[in-house]
Every structure is written in structure tokens, then in C-alpha cells.
Amino acid sequence: MSTPTRQKRLTPNDVAALKGQQPIVSLTAYTTPMARLLDSHCDLLLVGDSLGMVLYGLDSTVGVTMEMMIAHGQAVLRGVTHACVIVDMPFGSYQESKEQAFRNAARLMKETGCDGIKLEGGMEMAETVQFLTQRGVPVLGHVGLMPQQVNTSGGYRSKGHSDAEAQTIRRDAKAIADAGAFAIVVEGTVEPLAREISESLTVPTIGIGASPACDGQILVSDDMLGLFNEFKPRFVKHYAELAGVISTAVETYAAEVKARRFPGPEHTFKPRAKS
């Protein structure tokens, strides 16, 4: 009996090859239903550690665990047939040593079936990125604003305003690219600098709060869909206002339940006729 052919997803190499060809479309995904909705429209889906804040109500991404990333990575992979899927390495799972990073990256890839991992860091992580890529782990880098370092970097503020800070980000991006990352997320970085970095690197840059000149863009899906109205970062554009739609739908549902208009006869099961 023949084995069914599995549809081929985009690979990290495919994503890297898009530099100079077409902009890379990326969004975050944390669940199977959302992954199914996003898959055909995206080149890359990121199972981001932002799920700690988006789904679990944490104040930052620092509290996210390997178990959380694996569970959501598995969920996303069940809903994807087209996009390249990358899973974030959570805080504390790779910073100690390159050997620790490989063990945890290998675990993520084995247990989720993802196409690669993402980690934050610049020059200090270059040796680790090289160690991983030489051992078969595709790496998506992340420089500029790095949420896992929020406790030491002065909070969630844009980066690259001073000459010294700009030079550090330039060096970080080059070091991670030279170490073998297939692409680099550039977050919260002033526009001229993000543009300069994108033009100088041979690997794609994926911007979030960076520059339209980046080789691709990524947003947190829940932000882009308008599911959060409490705070809207400058770099987010709402392509829908689903929070209001959901609130209205739930309000209508509650009113119908209280008035006993739901469920109606069409929503209930009738006894089968006796033969």
C-alpha cells in the first residue's frame, strides 16, 4: 500500500531565498484553528513566546516555559500545510550554553515537527547560532528590541536612537547573519537604521516596528485583528476590530439566554420515532 504524500511546506531555505524577490509575509500563531486561517496567506508562521502575554496574561515573555512552547507548537503544526513554522526558544532555554541551546532546540523540533527555532540576541549569541546551524537546526535571529531582555534593557522602548546603541544593533545583526541564521527579526528599531541593516545583510530581515524596507513584516495576529483594545503599539495596524464583534456577539447571546430565546426548537434534538 502506498504512503500518502505529505504536502511540502516552505522551508527556512525557501524563506531565505525570498530576499530581493518578494516581501516575506509573517504572523504569529498559537492554536490549530488560527493556524489554519493564516496558513495559505503566510510564508512564515511564528509560534512566538508572545503567547505568554496574549494567551496567558503574563506581564512579559520571561515566564514562558518549554512545555508551553511545545504544546502550542504541536497545535500550530496540526493546522499548517503551506507555511514555514518557526518556534520561539523561551527565556532560559538557550542562554546558559550552546550545548543547552542545542538540547532544547532539538527537543522543540522533535516534539513539534517545526522547521526551525528563533532565539533573541546579538554578538553574545553568535557562537550559539553557529553551533546550532552546523548541527542541523535552522535559526531565525532576533535583534533590536528583545522582549526577553526587558528587565535589563529599560523596558519596551524603541532602539537605535543613540550612535552607540545603533552601532551595537548593526554589529548584532551582522554577527547573527554571519553565524548562519537564515533570517533575522528586527524589532522596535528606528527606521533609518533598520533600513540600513536590511540593505547591508545578505539574509532577509523581518521587521516589526522597524522599516518598510525590511525584507518582510511580522505582527502578532491578535494585535493585527484588533482583539486587544487596551493598548495599541505604534507599529500595529488593525486590519479588523474583532474585539468589538466578539463583545457584541456575546452580549446578544447573553440576552437571548436570559430571555429564553436561545436555544430555539431548531437547536434541540427530537426523540426518534418509534418503529
Which residues are tagged catalytic? 187
Which helix (H) or strand (E) element contains residue 234?
A: none
Give me 222's grid cell: 491578535
Rounded-to-integer distance, Cα 225 and Cα 238, Å: 6
Amino acid code (one letter) for 105: A
The answer to whether the annotation marks 88 as part of a ligand binding site is yes
Helix axes 163-178, 191-200, angle to 10 degrees: 30
The answer to whether the annotation marks 110 as part of a ligand binding site is no
Q: What angle do CA 151, 142, 200 make, to 5 degrees?
A: 130
Task: Tell which phi-psi region holds residue 16, choosing left (phi > 0), alpha (psi between -120 and 50) or beta.
Answer: alpha
The answer to whether the annotation marks 49 as part of a ligand binding site is yes
Give me 65's grid cell: 516555559
Binding residues, by number, are 49-50, 88, 118, 120
Per the annotation, where are the binding residues for 3-methyl-2-oxobutanoate?
49-50, 88, 118
* Known binding positions for Mg(2+): 49, 88, 120
